[in-house]
Amino acid sequence: MGFTYKQQKFIRLSLTYFILVLMSCIVLYPLIWTVGASFNPGNSLVSTSIIPKNATLAHYKELFVIKDTFYYVQWYINSLKISVFTMLFSLVFVSMTAYSFSRFRFKGRKNGLMLFLLLQMIPQFSALIAIFVLAQMLGLINSHWLLIFIYVGGQIPMNTYLMKGYFDTIPRELDESAKIDGASNTRIFLEILIPLAKPMLAVVAMNGFTGPLGDFALSSILLRNPEYYTLPIGLYKLVTDKMGASYTTFAAGALLISIPIAVIFVFLQKYFVSGLTAGGTKG
């Protein structure tokens, strides 16, 4: 005996809600546990309940106290510095490169786009030894600027391909009309294409900001002195080196990383969704 239309609709709706609730639990449970652990007295993550019985702010206070090789505030500033400059440089270089590929026809254009895709397929960690040796030769160990330029270089290939696709969706008639009025290519780029490409710029900005903020492998190779650490390295050292192995302080420090990401996301969210679904045209 088959199901009626209403029964089928109810089953589909129930299955959809079940999957959504299941996925929400998988995503939210570790986050809720981490929040609870950050307020949990002591140094252990093990607790009988997710919500601590004797909640304390002591671990958050510990983050702002400089002791031995623990410089949480400095690590936070270092991470924000690297992320902000990576985001800004990525926006500039990606938008200019994508504009060139979208609006101009030159020898090697298609091969250049294919090269960008191939470069994106190469894992970053495969070049860690070469990057370390190069940094040593140039005397750039502990250099935040070297990290920034490496991050920017890693952001360019895929983001350029996506933004180039978005630029392709903007009618060329706008360019031609502007040129008739005497506008230069630079003015067309800055005053016409860039304002229309805000959704994709938001995606590039988000990628450029969050990538360095959560990176551990590359920064751990180039940053050796504690005062130059970024947050991922500093928090890792907090639980692995001779610094007390305070997992609850680690949880508190890890939660504070999410604040700038949340701020950026809230600021860009009105552009973010439309930007993710754009840029897929074939050029």
Contacts for 260 with CB less than 8 Å, ≥ 6 apart:
80, 83, 209, 213
> 277 or 106: which carries more pLDDT confidence?
106
pLDDT digits (tens, 9 = 90+) for 68-90: 667 888 999 999 999 999 999 99
> Within 10 A of 111 (CB to CB), how many other CB atoms are there?
9
pTM for this model (two decimals): 0.82
Q: Nearest Cα to 35, choosing from 256, 263, 266?
A: 256
Percent of the chain with pLDDT over 70: 87
CATH architecture label of 68-276: Orthogonal Bundle (1.10)
pLDDT digits (tens, 9 = 90+) for 14-49: 999 999 999 988 888 888 888 887 887 776 666 656
> Within 10 A of 37 (CB to CB), how many other CB atoms are there?
24
pLDDT digits (tens, 9 = 90+) for 120-141: 777 767 778 888 888 888 888 9
> 10 or 271: which carries more pLDDT confidence?
10
Query: What residue segments make up the domains of the chain, in order of their start?
Result: 5-60, 68-276
Residue 16: the pLDDT is 92
What tokens were used for 1? 């005996």
Residue 10: the pLDDT is 84
- Cβ–Cβ under 8 Å, residues 169 and 250: no
pLDDT digits (tens, 9 = 90+) for 230-259: 999 988 887 776 545 577 888 888 888 888
What tokens were used for 166? 């978005």
